[in-house]
Amino acid sequence: MKDNKDEIIQDDQIIEETKQEEVKKEESKKEKKSKLEAKIEELENQVKELNDKYLRTLADTENYKKRIDAEKAVMKKYAASSFASELLVPYEQFSKIVEFPTEDPVLKNFLIGFKMIKDQFEQALEREGVKEIQALGKAFDANLHHAIEKESNKEKENGIVLEVLQKGYYFKDRVLRPAMVKVNEWSEENHGENK
C-alpha cells in the first residue's frame, strides 16, 4: 500500500508540477502575447507616423510643383515686357515724325508711307499685349498716371487729367509705363467760393 501511496503522491506531484508548468506556460504565453500586442501597436503607430510624413511630403511636393508651374507661366507671359518697354521710345518718336506737318508733296508721300509702317508697328505691339493707357479726361489714378503738373481750373472737374504729356502703356494686364499727365486740382478754399 505504501507503494501505492507513494505512487499516488508521485502522481499528484507530477500532476501538480504539470499544472504549474502549464500555468507558467500560460503566463508566458500571455506575457509574450501582451509583448507582441505592444510591439504591434508600436509598429502601427510608427506606420501611421511615417504615412503622415509621407503624405505631408507628397502634398508639399505637389504644392511646390504647382507654385513653380505658376511662376513659369507668369515668367512666360511677361517675358517680352522689357523688350516691349525698349520699343516704346522709338515707336513714340516715329509716331511724332509721321504727324509732322508739311506742304512738300514729296515729303507728304514719304510721311504717308511712314504712317503705314507706324500703324503696322502699333498693330504688332497690340498683338503682343501692349496697349495705350487712356488717360485724357479720365480721373487721376496713381496706379496708372504719374502727375507731372497740376492746374487749377474750376470749370473742369477736380482730379481729372487735363493733358497727357507722355503716353502710358499696359503690357497684358500690367502697367508697363504710367502716363505722365497734367491734373486738374482745386479746392473751395483756394477760390473762396461755396457750392
pLDDT in tens, 89-123: 899 998 888 888 888 888 888 899 999 999 999 99
192: left (phi over 0), alpha (psi -120 to 50) or beta: left
Instruction: For residue 30, give the C-alpha cell.
Output: 500571455
Instruction: For residue 61, give the C-alpha cell.
Output: 511636393
165, 180 in Cβ contact below 8 A?
A: yes
As a whole number of angstroms, the distance between CA 125 and CA 26 comes to 89
Q: Is 183's pLDDT higher than 90?
A: yes
167, 134 in Cβ contact below 8 A?
A: no
List residues bridging with 35 in a β-sheet: none
SS3 43: helix
Burial of 5 per CB tally in 10 Å (0-12, 13-18, 19+): exposed
For residues 64 and 189, which has the higher predicted lDDT (pLDDT)? Answer: 64
What is the pLDDT confidence band of residue 11, given thresholds at 50, 70 and 90? low
H-helix or E-strand containing 46? Answer: helix 2-77
Helix 81-98 / helix 105-127 crossing angle, nearest 10 deg? 160
Q: What is the pTM of this model?
A: 0.63
The residue among 176, 188, 145 whose CA lies nearest residue 163 is: 145
As a whole number of angstroms, the distance between CA 77 and CA 112 comes to 35
